[in-house]
Amino acid sequence: MNYKEGLQPIIGNNPRILILGSLPGDESLRKQEYYGNPKNMFWDVMNGILGEPVPVQYAKKVDYLKRHGIALWDVLHVAERAGSLDANIRNGEFNDIERLISENPSIAVIATNGGEAEKSFRKYLRRHPSIIGHRICYCKSTSPMVLCSGWNLDKLIEQWREIL
């Protein structure tokens, strides 16, 4: 099994929302871009909830998130994983989310993207209860795998609006 290391956080000035994934997939790691797999619906969901088209270039996507007060990171810093499926994640090590939040007191909402991110974040919260005072939203995954469970882009956008 391969050890995979996540990406650095995207964080602008005074972010209000922190979105946490589990660990970037292979395509995202190859590109060094969050949600770099074109089949992932994350950027379509952002377009839907923010009502503003998402730029094509990654650097402009990063600016787009910062402008809207959204920070992006992952619950896990490193883990063993064959392929990109979250179900294959083993022996994960947490990012220092508590430090990121303490350095950015403007963060009021923490949202997880998908079931593995939620499960890992709940474990993290048991070790770091100081974060519990924040509003936490557990959102359905924007991965294309979610389509197999009867979800579609419109349902995702409706659910993800709760982070606003």
Active site residues: 40
Residue keyed to tokens 């209860």:
129
User: What's the alpha-carbon Rg for the chain, to the nearest Å?
Assistant: 15
Look up residue 82 and give its two tokens: 């064959």
Task: Answer yes or no: are the C-beta atoms of 11 and 67 closer than 8 Å.
Answer: no
Task: Answer yes or no: are the C-beta atoms of 85 and 27 closer than 8 Å.
Answer: no
Neighbours of 61 (CB within 10 A): 20
